[in-house]
Amino acid sequence: MANKIPRVPVREQDPTRRATNFEEVCYGYNADEAALEASRCLNCRVARCVAKCPVNVNIPGFIHAVAEGDLATAAAIIAADSTLPSVCGRVCPQESQCEGNCVLGIKGEPVAIGKLERYVGDWAIEHADETPVEVPERNGKRVAVVGSGPAGLACASDLAKAGYEVKIFEALHEVGGVLVYGIPEFRLPKERIVAREVEALKRLGVEIETDVVIGRTLTIDDLLDREGYDAVFIGSGAGLPRFMGIEGENLNGVFSANEFLTRANLMHAYDESYDTPIYAGRKVVVVGGGNVAMDAVRTAKRLGAESVIVYRRSEAELPARVEEVHHAKQEGIEFRMLTNPVRVLGDERGWVRGVECVEMELGEPDESGRRSPVVKEGSNFEIDCDVVIMALGTSPNPLIKHTTKGLDTTRRGCIVADENGVTSRPGVFAGGDAVTGAATVILAMGAGRKAAAAIDTYLNKKDDATNV
């Protein structure tokens, strides 16, 4: 009668308190809670959850091990398919992936797969020192990985385990890519989780060099020719922030979500002991409805500003994780749906004083299948604010495209790669947001792993060819 147990609630930091600090919102399960929640899993013969997982983690398998209290086995089962469970457990959109397809969810509440994954991932991190690391014998071949985000970390990990000498080149001063500059501390702790994942990679023998901007400091060709790498994986991430192209967007007080979050997360601007400034003003309007918009608006709230989300579709279409929207509302974020800015208003000093918006209504479905928003004529109104943050996604960074001959890119500037990360340049592989445009951590991680397998195949073939 396992399915009669209600979903075990997860302990969280009190909303009024957490809206003033940057500590993690969710405390996660303890051992008893995890075991109880795990016991709810029906262990379906045809596991619908697995089918919806972008990397097809053996979900019933690891959950069964949690129920048995065998966390080492649970960790090993996840590790067969996923490199970053403590991260994915926290940031995956479970409601549209595994949990969204859980049988229990049809009549009641799905198994808390994400929370259980996080529990196992955190356990593995805490017990990393107890399990001896097997550094495989080196096969004499070297692979360069560009970018230390989820795609690069996953690719490097698999290659190191397969015996390759791997070096990651990171443009910024911290390792982790979007995990450190993008996702806030209150959703993904940097020291406790991200840094530990990176440590694990270093124990596998992966080298990491920061402050190297590929496309500037070194080119892809430099890596292959001058630095002597046998193959390169590009996991350079998304890139240039998009703006709306409306009047007033360059006023003082208009920021991209990337800038606002990079100041807060990478540069620790919210911490008085760090030098980088951040400006959240008195009232912040964040434009957009994705996870980045939620991260920005909740960061602004924590910096003391009254914070509002403005989104042109309705709540049902919000692309953000349901949990983030729920948390944001608990923290007192105002949501203004079916609203779109048409102009940012400035004062005589050139600073933001408000944003002029129009009301929208949902019309016919567009190519994405979502009903497209249509302007209600004459519905213009103003929202008074002193900061506007644009969270509208990104376009690919041009640095590698412009400096790598023979590397095909799409019209939008994304690197062209097949499902295994194979690009138009022999020996050059790519995956993650650099290929797909802004997507999720788990998709990037999956792409990094597929590319690692493809690199292994490619280099073995190359070996065979030279040995003939």
Partner 1 sequence: MFEIVSKRTLAPRVVEMKVKAPRVAESARPGQFVIVRTDPKGERIPLTICDYDADEGTVTIVTQEVGYSSGKINSLETDDCFADFAGPLGCPSDLLELTPEQLKAKKILFVAGGVGTAPVYPQVKWLKEQGVEADVIIGAKTKDMFTYVDEMKRVGRVHLCTDDGSEGYHGMVTGLMEKLINEDGRQFDHCVIIGPMIMMKFAALTTKKYNIPTVVSLNALMVDGTGMCGACRVTVDGETRFTCVEGPEFDGHKVDFDEAMRRQNMYRDNKKTHPETQNCKCNG
Interface residue list for partner 1 (CB under 8 A): 171-173, 181, 210-213, 216-218, 239-241, 243, 249-250, 252-253, 255-256, 258-259, 262-263, 266-269, 272-279, 349-350, 397-399
Q: How far is the CB of 209 from partner 1 (least distance, A)?
A: 9
Q: Which is nearer to partner 1, 283 or 449 (CB)?
A: 283
Beta bridge partners of 209: 169
Q: Angle at Cα 413 formed by Cα 412 and Cα 415, nearest 5°? A: 125
Q: How far is the CB of 34 from partner 1 (least distance, A)?
A: 35
Q: Which is nearer to partner 1, 43 or 276 (CB)?
A: 276
Q: Which is nearer to partner 1, 41 or 180 (CB)?
A: 180
Contact of 387 with 255, CB cutoff 8 Å: yes
Q: Residue 217 has what DSSP assignment?
A: T
Q: Which is nearer to partner 1, 241 or 431 (CB)?
A: 241
Please tell me the distance from the alpha carbon of residue 342 to that of residue 154, in angstroms, as a whole number.
41
Q: Which is nearer to partner 1, 353 or 370 (CB)?
A: 353
Beta bridge partners of 356: 343, 382
Helix or strand run (H / E) with residue 168: strand 165-169
Contact of 309 with 283, CB cutoff 8 Å: no
Q: Which is nearer to partner 1, 62 or 260 (CB)?
A: 260
Q: How far is the CB of 104 from partner 1 (least distance, A)?
A: 41
Helix or strand run (H / E) with residue 234: strand 231-234
Q: How far is the CB of 439 from partner 1 (least distance, A)?
A: 16
SS3 358: strand
Q: Which is nearer to partner 1, 127 or 216 (CB)?
A: 216
Q: How far is the CB of 145 from partner 1 (least distance, A)?
A: 17
Would you tell me the crossing angle of helices 113-126 and 195-203 to the nearest 10 degrees? 50
Would you tell me the crossing angle of helices 31-38 and 59-67 to the nearest 10 degrees? 130
Q: How far is the CB of 246 from partner 1 (least distance, A)?
A: 11
Please tell me the distance from the alpha carbon of residue 197 to that of residue 326, in angstroms, as a whole number.
28
Please tell me the distance from the alpha carbon of residue 443 to that of residue 439, in angstroms, as a whole number.
7
Q: Which is nearer to partner 1, 63 or 267 (CB)?
A: 267
Token pair of 457 as six digits: 């195949």
Helix ranges, 173-286 (H): 178-181, 195-203, 220-221, 257-264
Q: Which is nearer to partner 1, 105 or 304 (CB)?
A: 304
Q: How far is the CB of 446 from partner 1 (least distance, A)?
A: 23
Q: Which is nearer to partner 1, 188 or 392 (CB)?
A: 392
Q: How far is the CB of 243 from partner 1 (least distance, A)?
A: 7
Helix ranges, 82-203 (H): 85-91, 104-107, 113-126, 150-161, 178-181, 195-203
Considering only CA atoms, give the Rg of the chain.
23
Say what the alpha-carbon torsion angle 90, 93, 99, 101 is, to the nearest 10 degrees: -160
Token pair of 399 as six digits: 């640095």
Q: How far is the CB of 217 from partner 1 (least distance, A)?
A: 5
Token pair of 434 as six digits: 């650099």
Q: How far is the CB of 215 from partner 1 (least distance, A)?
A: 9
Q: How far is the CB of 399 from partner 1 (least distance, A)?
A: 6
64-97 as b/e: b if 16+ CB within 10 A:
bbbbeeebebbbbbbbebbbbbbbbbbbbbbbeb
Pairing type for strands 381-384 and 352-365 reads: antiparallel
Beta bridge partners of 430: 234
Q: How far is the CB of 121 from partner 1 (least distance, A)?
A: 27
Please tell me the distance from the alpha carbon of residue 120 to that of residue 88, in angstroms, as a whole number.
11
- Name the percent of the chain in helix, strand, coil, to the closest 5: 40, 20, 45
